[in-house]
Structure formats: structure tokens, C-alpha cells
Structure 1
Amino acid sequence: MPHPIPCAAALAVAALFATPAVQAQDAGQLNVICSVQAEWCNMIQTVFTKTTGVKVNMSLKGSGEALAQLIAERANPKTDVWFGGTGDPHLQAAEQGLSLDYKSPSLPQLHAWAQQQAEQSKFRTVGIYSGPLGFGYNTELIAKKKLPIPKTWADLLNPAFKGEIQVANPASSGTAYTMVATLVQLMGEEKAFEYMKALHRNISQYTRSGTGPIKAAARGETTVSISFVHDGPGEAMQGFPIATITPADGTGAEIGSMSLIDGARNLANAKRFYDWALTAGAQEMGAAAKQFQLPSNKAAKVDPRVPDFKKIKFIPYDYAKYGSSTERKRLIARWEKDVNSLPR
């Protein structure tokens, strides 16, 4: 289990919120699946409880695992809110009727991309942060091995990178599925699969989790990772020699999302948490927990370590199409058959 954040830090963050704390037994409880990093999950759990008195039961799960749990619990939901993780599984939960439509009063305060996520899901999910896909690289290994810094998708096909790159498996990772969907939209499907077959020769390992490759690059276990670049600064803050770059020829971004679960047992508290999580103050906790996505609330202070979206070339990513169950299943099945089955 993750360690709770130190009491002093939690109290300092709690002081940011004016709502007086009430007795936990009076305020009831809330069951949350949290699909962001442990430190962020712990912080929102501590602060929401201290400022409202609601007892938060927090379960940490990757977005793919979270969706599987919600499907398994469909007849008897045990979860009230699903917080964070890539938007595709949230859109699938919405499509399958697992989440509840809800228009938060905070909705007008959000960036257009977050409001669009809500509209596309018929208000069954909402964007809470965004982060671009790119490359992480170990600065010491790149220099030691005299390798070029990859600046485009094509650069990763350089034979010098054979065995030097890690990316997650799109069947288990939202990060890697974002890569597949990005390449298909950037190059066209046939060229994208030819590209991924060529890239396969340079991949040393497909990890289960999306953050695995950048953590491996930070620790010198691989030279390059394909990752969300907002995961780089937190590793650098721990003293690891990691830098990030976004491909000059275009990239996609995740929209991390939040959903209320249909059949939630603690619906009033779930809505209270949902509204709170969309406020600027609550969203600024991401950076306080060393997570550097762009918050969806326009009034949230943006940490200087958050990637500058104005300097990144983004593709017009079709979240509705690539977030649908049928398209995701089809592309992952094709990746397994055409790419993952090949020898390296």
C-alpha cells in the first residue's frame, strides 16, 4: 500500500480550503478508484476528508484494471467515483452505461478540451487534466553511447536504438494505446502499422504499465521511453538523469478523466467530491504531488514544469472515435497480431 503523505504536508494543503472540517461519522463515506500516481491519490484523500469530514476509501488501480472492475461490479457497484487515468476507458465506461450523467456547476470553468470530453460522453465523464505523448531519454546513457536525441517518430527507427527503447503494451496501458491511436491518425493505419513493425525491432520490452518505461529510462535500465512527457519532471526531481521531448512531426495527448458510477451508494458525497475535484485549488494538488499534467480548470495555477502546450505540435486527436470500445479492441487486436507476434 502507498504511504500516506506526511501529516504536516496534508494539513498545509488542507489549509488552502476554507470549508470547515466536520466529524467524519456525520458526513458518511465515499469509495473512490484512483488511477493517478499514489502520492496524488493520498493527497486528495487526506485533504477531502479533512475539509469535509467524509471518510474516503481509496483504491489504486490502472485505468484498464479500473474499467475491468467496474464491468465486473455492474450488477452491484461498490465504487462511487473513478478519478484519473486516460480518457479512453472512461469513454468506454460511459458508452457501456457504467457511469452517470452529471453536469457539475464547475463545468464552465474548464478548458474547452475538458468540456468537449464531457459533451462527447453525454456528460458521463469529464476531463480533469491533459498531458502530451513524447519520448523520455536518459541523458547520461545517450551521451555515453553516443546516440542522437530522437526528435521525430522516424528517429526511433534508427538501427542504433536496437534494444534501447521501452514502451508499454497497449492491451494493458492507456499510454501505449494513445501511442497506437496517435500513429494511426498521424500516418494513416497501414503506414502506422508498418512503422510499429519496424519500431518493434528496437523495443527491448513492452511493460504492463504506462509509467514503467520512463521510470526504467530514469534509472538507466533503458535509454529511451515512449511516455507521457509530464511523467519526466517528477523523476528528475528525484535526481535521475531524465529529459523529455515531444516529436516535431506531431503527437497526441491524453485527457485524464473522472466519472461518477451509475448505482453509486454514496451519490451525494460522490457529487460533492466530483465538484470539488474540478476546482482550481483541488487541481493544483497534482503539481504538489509531483505530477505535471495541465489542469483542466482555467483558473488553476500552472506549475512551470508542466509541458508548454503552445510549443507542441498536436494532431487533431479524435477522442470520440478512438475512445470507443470497438475501435480500441480492433486496433489492439491488430497490434497483437501484426506487431507483438513478430520476433525481435
Structure 2
Amino acid sequence: MAITSKLVLAAATGLYMTSTAMAVDLTVYTAVEAEDLKRYADAFNKVHPDIKINWVRDSTGIITAKLLAEKNNPQADVVWGLAATSLLLMKAEGMLEAYAPVGVDKLDPKFVDNSTPPAWTGMDAWVAAVCYNTVESGKLGLTPPKTWKDLTKAEYKGHVIMPNPNSSGTGFLDVSSWLQMFGEKGGWEYMDGLHKNIARYTHSGSKPCKLAAAGEIPIGISFAFRGAKSKASGAPLEIIVPEEGVGWDMEATAIMAGTDKLDAAKKLVDWSITKDANMLYNSGYAVVAYPGVAKPVKFFPDNLTDKMIDNDFEFAANNRKAILAEWQKRYDSKSEPKS
């Protein structure tokens, strides 16, 4: 009996060790909102319980800088949820493993990198908008802005908050879109005027709208879905789509070149473009990569998609470093301290 027990124990131990050896830990860098990470991981693990996701999460600018700093010694296996403009920059540096996920042909083509095979695939898009607190603005006697250029008017001095583009993807898409819409000279002149009215720059793209929703500032330059979500929760917000047009970017996914966990990384990227994954994205974004999935979002501006500019992602990616350096030199004095 003792010998039999030992054999059973040995067999069980061997089985446990084999099972443990088969489990894979993936280091996944992301700029996805922290509140969504557990939902994503739980849904993925229902299909692949043998792959554990270890998240490294921060804002877009910080994750981008971290990945570039680690170029010669990559620490991430996958990037799941980072601005496409950032991934284009990494593609140019040879940092991404080209891969066509299973089912990629089902996605809207504008959400797929144009190389064959693609270096990255899109998940969802976020679109700029202005969150305008009607109660606080009324107390101050402000009038709702209709255009981006309206925000340079003297009446808004000290009443506007926007994201810092060095740390926030939303901030960068704002700056990039203004340079595209107004031209280089006109774009910087616009930002000079806007800067005079800025109370401070945040390190989060959603924070300006959250602050406006809470009544801490009358006007927050943010993204439309955040405004719609806050308004649906009862915040006295008007979501303004400036007449000149609005910038946008997409969250995207890619495999880091050199990962020694390529098979597991491919499984994650395969799952990231599925209909089920896109249904999850739709709970945080109104525009997703998988056609027919997105459901109408209460209070999401009806004309927003018509106002999305023809975004030149190559321009944004190729000029990102120079744009951010110039922005920092001109305006960083009003940035809030980094946590």
C-alpha cells in the first residue's frame, strides 16, 4: 500500500509539474483603461486558460516611451491596446513581428496595417470632442464653443483643460489633428492661443472630461465616448464636436519581435480580433474594428463620424518625436505633476 501510495503521489506530482510547465505567462503592455483589463483577461482565459496575462499598464505616451527605450532588450511579448500611431513608429524601427491573425479578413480594412502580413491590427477608435459643463459654464456666463478656434477667446481664460500629448494618446491626436487641419504654422499659432486659456494639462486623455463632469472645470478637451458615458451617468455635459473636424486614433495590437513565446502571443492576437473581443471593446468605445458589432451609444454625437478628419497616420507617426519636443518646449510649464 505504501509503495502504491508513493507511485500515485509521484504520478500526481509529475502531472502537476507537466501542467505547470505547459502554462505560459505573457507580458502584455497596454494603455487600455485600467477598469477594462480584468474583463479582457477573463474573457480570453475562458478560451485559453493556460495563458496568463501579466499587464504592464500606463498612459499611451509612457508606454510608447518605455517600449522604445527597451528596443534592444524587449520586455513585452505583446502590445494589446496602444495607439496605432505609436505602433507605426515601432514598425518603422523593426520592433514588431508581422502576423496575420486568423480571421483578419473580417475586420474593417482601415483597422488593419497595410503591410502583408500586417504588423498590427486595430481594435477600436476614439474620437476627440469637447466636454462642456452647462451648469458651471452658466455660473461663469460662458457661451458654448462651436469651433476649436473659439476656445482661444478671452472668455475661456483659465477654464479649459486638455491632455498632455507627451503622456496621453488623446492629447497627441489633438495636436496632430490641429497641425493637419490648420497647417504647421497655423497649428502652432492656434495652440499658442489655446495655451493662454489652459488651466493645466493632464496626463490622462479621459481626465479632462471626468473633471468637467464633476464640475471641477467648465471645459475638458477629451474624447467623445468618455463624454457620452459621463452624461449617461447624469453629468450636466454637452458633448461638442468642433465644426472644423476632429482628430481620432485607434487602439491596436501587435506582437513584439523577438518574443520567445510566439505561439502564445499569436493565440492572444488571434483572440483580440474576434467578434467576442470586439463586443467587449464596444463597451468602452463606440467605433470598433469588427463590422456590425458596434451598438448605438446613448448621447454619442450623431455627426461625429462625419467630422472625423482624414487622419494621416504616417504624418503623425513620422513626426511624433519632433511634434512632442516642440509642444513640450512651448507649453509644458502648465502640465500637472506626474504621479
Determine whether 1:221 maps to 2:251.
Answer: no
Residue of structure 2 equivalent to 1:253: 248
Could you say if the C-alpha distance between residues 24 and 62 of structure 1 is closer, same or farther in structure 2, counting changes exceeding 3 Å? farther
Tell me which moved more, 66-75 or 153-162: 66-75
Deviation at 1:329, TM superposition (A): 1.6
| C-alpha distance in 2 between matches for 1:110 and 1:269 | 22
Determine whether 1:184 maps to 2:176.
Answer: no
Q: What is the SS of the residue equivalent to 1:248?
A: coil
| C-alpha distance in 1 between matches for 2:70 and 2:330 | 33
* Structure 2, gaps ≥5 residues long: 1-18, 335-339
Q: What is the SS of the residue equivalent to 1:213?
A: helix
* Structure 1, gaps ≥5 residues long: 1-22
Could you say if the C-alpha distance between residues 311 and 67 of structure 1 is closer, same or farther in structure 2, counting changes exceeding 3 Å? closer
Determine whether 1:169 maps to 2:164.
Answer: yes
| C-alpha distance in 2 between matches for 1:237 and 1:265 | 44
| C-alpha distance in 2 between matches for 1:214 and 1:121 | 38
Deviation at 1:265, TM superposition (A): 2.6
Q: What is the SS of the residue equivalent to 2:315?
A: helix
| C-alpha distance in 1 between matches for 2:176 and 2:269 | 28
Q: What is the SS of the residue equivalent to 1:322?
A: helix
| C-alpha distance in 2 between matches for 1:339 and 1:74 | 29
Residue of structure 2 equivalent to 1:48: 44
Residue of structure 1 equivalent to 2:287: 294
Q: What is the SS of the residue equivalent to 2:221?
A: strand
Q: What is the aligned-residue identity percentage?
A: 30
- Show CA shifts across 1:55-109 (max 9, x none): 2212212222222222333333331111113222111111112211111232211
- Show CA shifts across 1:15-40 (max 9, x none): xxxxxxxx786442322112111121
Q: What is the SS of the residue equivalent to 2:325?
A: helix
Determine whether 1:317 maps to 2:314.
Answer: no
5 Å-filtered alignment, 1:231-250, equals 231-250=226-245
The answer (yes or no) to whether the contact 1:77–1:263 under 8 Å persists in 2 is: yes
Q: What is the SS of the residue equivalent to 2:76?
A: coil
- Show CA shifts across 1:179-198 (max 9, x none): 11111111111111111111
- Show CA shifts across 1:214-247 (max 9, x none): 1211111111111111221333344433332211
| C-alpha distance in 2 between matches for 1:120 and 1:145 | 51
Determine whether 1:78 maps to 2:75.
Answer: yes
| C-alpha distance in 2 between matches for 1:149 and 1:110 | 38
- Show CA shifts across 1:277-297 (max 9, x none): 111211111244xx1241111
Residue of structure 2 equivalent to 1:67: 64
Residue of structure 2 equivalent to 1:270: 265
Letter in 2 for 1:34: T
Deviation at 1:164, TM superposition (A): 0.4
Q: Looking at CA atoms only, which structure, 1 or 2, has the larger radius of gyration?
A: 2
Residue of structure 2 equivalent to 1:107: 104
Q: What is the SS of the residue equivalent to 1:74?
A: coil
Q: TM-score, normalised by structure 1?
A: 0.84
| C-alpha distance in 2 between matches for 1:264 and 1:77 | 8
Letter in 2 for 1:267: L
5 Å-filtered alignment, 1:143-162, equals 143-162=138-157
Residue of structure 1 equivalent to 2:206: 211
Deviation at 1:204, TM superposition (A): 0.3
Determine whether 1:32 maps to 2:28.
Answer: yes
Could you say if the C-alpha distance between residues 44 and 310 of structure 1 is closer, same or farther in structure 2, counting changes exceeding 3 Å? same
Residue of structure 2 equivalent to 1:230: 225
Q: TM-score, normalised by structure 2?
A: 0.85
5 Å-filtered alignment, 1:109-124, equals 109-115=106-112, 118-119=113-114, 123-124=118-119
> What is the root-mean-square deviation in Å for CA atoms of aligned residues?
2.3
